[in-house]
Amino acid sequence: MNTSHENLTDTWNANSDDYNRYSKEGLEDKKELEAWKSIMKEVFGDSPLKILDIGTGPGTIAIVLSEMGHEVTALDFSDSMLSHARANASARGAEVTFVKGDAADLPFSDNSFDAVISRNVLWTLPDPVKALTEWKRVISPDGKLTYIDGDWSNELNKSVKTRFKHLISSFLIRVTQREHVSRIQATCGKDLWSVSAERPAFDLNILNGLDLKDIRVSTGIDQRVYSGLRAWKYGYYSGTFLVECRK
Ligand SMILES: C[S@@+](CC[C@H](N)C(=O)[O-])C[C@H]1O[C@@H](n2cnc3c(N)ncnc32)[C@H](O)[C@@H]1O
């Protein structure tokens, strides 16, 4: 798989209907939505902030933050993802400004946001240092840089328990929605640095190198968020982590 910008954009466009089904199901799951709101409250507190959601996909985190009273801009390079995100936000009456752009070359000036958030995107970006440098650039001094990501490949390769749970997950996903969400990972992921990087140690090294402050990593995010059937389908990784730090 070639990881050129065009090829990655095509892959995400092609998989957006599938991904949107997974995301809409999550938005309609009250427990899951409340879990995300509680995590976001721990991260951003109660005061309204100007937040950028990078690689918003169908817009879940942007919608959650907007419903919590934040002023949210959400960026993605996939037209199909953005079109799903606009429809999802409008269906919920959530106010979000959607922008088409590249996560590693942001169309915003320096210090434009109080905070940046990104969920499950960094692993897909060919140059994580370039991306994180950009994410730092657009937040104001002392602003918050946060993201959620996972040690997807390593965990799957190393843990027999995770491989077994992954088999059950794949079966359930096929039975309940025919399409296989983690196909995206199988296609985009093979040639990326994230296949072999030990995370979050890899991330900490970059964040320290970029001179980011107050770095904190929390684990067990999927276990907090998914419940019921979705826990079997999507909650089998224990390696999902949340990074918080300041400029
Ligand atoms: C795994 S999805 C995550 C979507 C969303 N953050 C969520 O958690 O539901 C990755 C998203 O990142 C977007 N993406 C990948 N590379 C990107 C890039 N270079 N610039 C902008 N968006 C990108 C994809 O189009 C896709 O919507």
Per-residue pLDDT tens over the stretch 215-244: 999 998 988 998 888 777 776 776 789 999
Tokens of 143: 């602003």
Q: How far is the CA of 247 from the centre of ligand 1 (A)?
A: 23
CA distance from start to end of the chain: 35
Chain centroid to CA 63: 13
Contact 163, 205 (CB under 8 A): no
Higher per-residue pLDDT: 228 or 125: 125
Q: Is the CB of 8 under 6 A from ligand 1?
A: yes
**How far is ligand 1, taken at its centre, from the CA of residue 124, in Å?**
8
Structure token pair of residue 11: 């892959």
Averaged pLDDT, 30-53:
96
Mutate to test the pocket of ligand 1, among 15, 76, 116, 187 (most ligand atoms within 8 A of CB): 76
Is the Cβ–Cβ distance between 219 and 241 less than 8 Å?
yes
Q: Is the CB of 148 under 6 A from ligand 1?
A: no
Number of H helices, E strands in the chain: 12, 7
- Amino acid identity, residue 126? P
> What tokens were used for 42?
């721990």
Burial group, residue 69, by CB count within 10 angstroms (0-12, 13-18, 19+): exposed
CB of 120 sitting under 6 A from ligand 1:
yes
Confirm or reject: Cβ of 104 under 6 Å from ligand 1. Answer: yes
pLDDT tens-digit map of 88-101: 999 999 999 999 99
Q: In terms of Cα–Cα distance, which of 79, 120, 117 is closest to 100?
A: 79
Element (H, E) at 193: none
pLDDT at 186: 56
The average pLDDT across 147-152 equals 86
Residue 36 CA to residue 59 CA, distance in Å, equals 13
Residue 125 has pLDDT above 70, yes or no: yes
pLDDT-based confidence at residue 181 (cuts at 50, 70, 90): very low
Which residue CA neighbors atom 23 of ligand 1 most closely? Answer: 55
Return the pLDDT at 103: 97
Short-list 19, 2, 1, 8, CA closest to 181 = 19
Residues 242/221, Cβ–Cβ less than 8 Å? yes
Angle at 54 between CA 215 and CA 80, to 5 degrees: 155
Ligand 1 centroid – CA 216 distance (Å): 23
Cα(99)–Cα(154) distance, rounded to whole angstroms?
33
- Average of per-residue pLDDT across 159-179: 65
